[in-house]
Structure 1
Amino acid sequence: MAPPPLPTIAPTIALLGPGAIGTTIAAALHEAGRTPMLCGRTALPSLTLRGDGGDLLVPGPVRTDPATIETTVDLLFVAVKATQIEAAAPWFAALCDARTVVCVLQNGVEQERRIAPSLPGSPVLPSVVWFPAQRQPDGSVWLRGKPRLTLPQTPAVGVVVAALQGTRCAVELAAAADFTSLAWRKLLQNAVAGLMVLAGRRAAMFSRADIAGLALAYLREGLAVARAEGAVLGDAVAQEILAQFQALPADMGSSILADREAGRPLEWDIRNGVVQRYGRFHGIPTPISDLVVPLLAAASDGPG
Structure 2
Amino acid sequence: MSQYPAIALIGPGAIGTTVAAALHEAGRTPTLCGRTAHDSLLLRVDNHRIEIPGPILTHPSAVKQHYDLVFVAVKSTQVAEAAPWLAALCSEKTVVCVLQNGVEQRSLFAPYLSAQQILPSVVWFPAQRETGNAVWLRSSPRLTLPDVAESHRVLEALQGTRCEVDVTTDFTQVAWRKLMQNALAGLMVLTGRRAGMFSRIDITGLSLALLQECLAVARAEGAALGDEVPQEILAWFHRAPADLSTSILTDRQADRPLEWDCRNGVIQRRGQAHGIATPISDLIVPLLAAASDGPG
- Identify the residue that residue 269 of structure 1 maps to in structure 2: 261
**Structure-2 separation of matches of 1:28 and 1:89:** 25
Aligned residue among 94, 106, 127 for 1:112: 106
Deviations 1:199-234 (A, max 9, x none): 010001000000010010000000000000000101
Cα deviation for residue 67 of structure 1 reads: 1.0
Q: Is the CA contact 1:263–1:302 (under 8 Å) kept in the aligned structure 2?
A: no
- Identify the residue that residue 211 of structure 2 maps to in structure 1: 219
Cα deviation for residue 44 of structure 1 reads: 0.6
- Identify the residue that residue 3 of structure 1 maps to in structure 2: none
Matches within 5 A, 1:147-226: 147-175=141-169, 178-226=170-218
Q: Is the CA contact 1:265–1:302 (under 8 Å) kept in the aligned structure 2?
A: no
3-state DSSP of counterpart to 2:128: strand
**Structure-2 separation of matches of 1:58 and 1:303:** 39
3-state DSSP of counterpart to 2:242: coil
Moved over 3 A (4+): none
Q: Is the CA contact 1:104–1:125 (under 8 Å) kept in the aligned structure 2?
A: yes
CA 269–298 in structure 1, closer or farther in 2 if over 3 Å, else same:
same
Say what the alpha-carbon RMSD is for the aligned residues: 1.1
**Structure-2 separation of matches of 1:69 and 1:127:** 25
Question: Structure 1 residue 61 and structure 2 residue 45: aligned?
Answer: no
Question: Structure 1 residue 136 and structure 2 residue 130: aligned?
Answer: yes
Question: Structure 1 residue 52 and structure 2 residue 34: aligned?
Answer: no
TM-score norm. by structure 1 comes to 0.95
Give the number of aligned pairs: 296
Cα deviation for residue 137 of structure 1 reads: 2.7
5+ long unaligned stretches in structure 1: 1-6
**Structure-2 separation of matches of 1:157 and 1:138:** 32
TM-score norm. by structure 2 comes to 0.98
Q: Is the CA contact 1:152–1:174 (under 8 Å) kept in the aligned structure 2?
A: yes
Aligned residue among 231, 238, 243 for 1:251: 243
- Identify the residue that residue 295 of structure 1 maps to in structure 2: 287
Q: Identity across aligned pairs (percent)?
A: 66
Cα deviation for residue 286 of structure 1 reads: 0.2
Deviations 1:251-282 (A, max 9, x none): 10100000000110000000000000000000
5+ long unaligned stretches in structure 2: none
3-state DSSP of counterpart to 2:17: helix
Stretch deviating more after TM superposition (113-122 or 182-191): 113-122
Deviations 1:164-194 (A, max 9, x none): 000000000001xx21000000000000000
